Amino acid sequence: MKRLIIIMTALGIASGSFAVYASPKEDLKIFRAHFKKRFPKVKFKDFKDGIYALDADRRAAWLDWEDFAPPYTDSIDLGKKLFRKKLKSGKTLASCFKRGGIGIKQNFPYFDKAQGKVITLEVAINDCMVKNGEKPYKWGKGKLAAISGYMAYTSRGKKIKIKVPNDPRALAAYEQGKRFFYSKRGQLNFSCADCHVYNPGTMARGMLLSPALGQATHWPVWRRKWAKKAASKGDTGPTAGLGTIQRRYKGCNKQVRAKPFKFQSPQYRALEYFHTYMSNGLPINGPGLRQ
């Protein structure tokens, strides 16, 4: 409890008030230092591997799974096909992105000054669909996740570089995300930080908790749990186990019996902005594999 209070104070989150005391850069420094202290043996770059950076047996099993035909492979092929498909306008998705959309995932989400909003990669893809005369994809999984998975795949190894530009609206979005992350919610009254900042490395409901540092590097993720759920509905296709980071946010909200927010709501966009910023400097390694 004492440590919790110290960290919350250090992050400028005094009891009940969420005034801006620290800049994003200062927040990041404190955040990294916390995990370094908690896991002195884990190298900074290894935090990208979530629980597999903490537990040798689980890591070995996971590496086997990755080496031997990881189940997300077909989704990358599908994503590539959809990414290159001609849209009604005659253009492809590549036309909406810098560098033709290749190797750019590390810059998402970003704050768009013209729109005054946080733009996640999935929003950018769907905006592009609409701009080119097509219907947007459904959020959270399926084809949209396959496309963002392909884009993540082309960005593997690039270090996350989220920026909070000197614009009060960008800073407000960052602060909103930070507040979300540290606010207790749901019947169980847990914040994201309670599990992923103050208790990573311990067990919750039979699962090892991952550190928040590095949680944003490997999306979308192919999960056994999601694949099972899809299979129970007859879907064993290339995207069956795939989900975006916001699908995971919903799951973690439900775990504490809080009502999840809508995909790409201002709340989840702000959360993804803050949360991804906290993984700055770590390499993209999506799509990922998880239980």
Least distance to ligand HEC, CB of residue 42, Å? 14
Alpha-carbon distance of 288 to 280, in angstroms, equals 18
Nearest to ligand HEC of 1, 114 (CB atom): 1
Nearest to ligand HEC of 118, 221 (CB atom): 221
Nearest to ligand HEC of 48, 93 (CB atom): 48
Give 90-97 contacts, CB < 8 A, sequence gap 24+: 91/132, 93/125, 93/128, 93/129, 93/132, 93/147, 95/128, 95/132, 96/124, 96/127, 96/128, 96/131, 96/132, 97/124, 97/128
Question: At which residue do the structure tokens 């809080």 appear?
Answer: 258
Least distance to ligand HEC, CB of residue 128, Å? 25
Least distance to ligand HEC, CB of residue 222, Å? 10
Nearest to ligand HEC of 92, 255 (CB atom): 255
Least distance to ligand HEC, CB of residue 213, Å? 11
Burial of 71 (0-12, 13-18, 19+ CB in 10 A): middle
End-to-end alpha-carbon separation of the chain, Å?
A: 30
Closest Cα partner for 287 from 59, 97, 80, 128? 80
Residues lying near ligand HEC in the complex (CB under 6 A) are found at 50-51, 190, 192, 194-196, 204, 207, 209-210, 215, 221, 245, 248-249, 252-253, 255-256, 271, 275, 290
Whether the Cβ atoms of residue 193 and residue 19 lie closer than 8 Å to each other: no
Least distance to ligand HEC, CB of residue 230, Å? 18
Whether the Cβ atoms of residue 172 and residue 267 lie closer than 8 Å to each other: no
Nearest to ligand HEC of 101, 200 (CB atom): 200
Nearest to ligand HEC of 94, 188 (CB atom): 188
Nearest to ligand HEC of 34, 275 (CB atom): 275
| Cis status of the peptide bond prior to 287, with omega within 30 of 0 | yes
Least distance to ligand HEC, CB of residue 143, Å? 21
Least distance to ligand HEC, CB of residue 185, Å? 8
Closest Cα partner for 52 from 211, 158, 193? 211
Q: How far is CA 120 from the centre of its chain?
A: 10
Q: For residue 55, count other CB atoms closer than 10 A to its CB.
A: 13
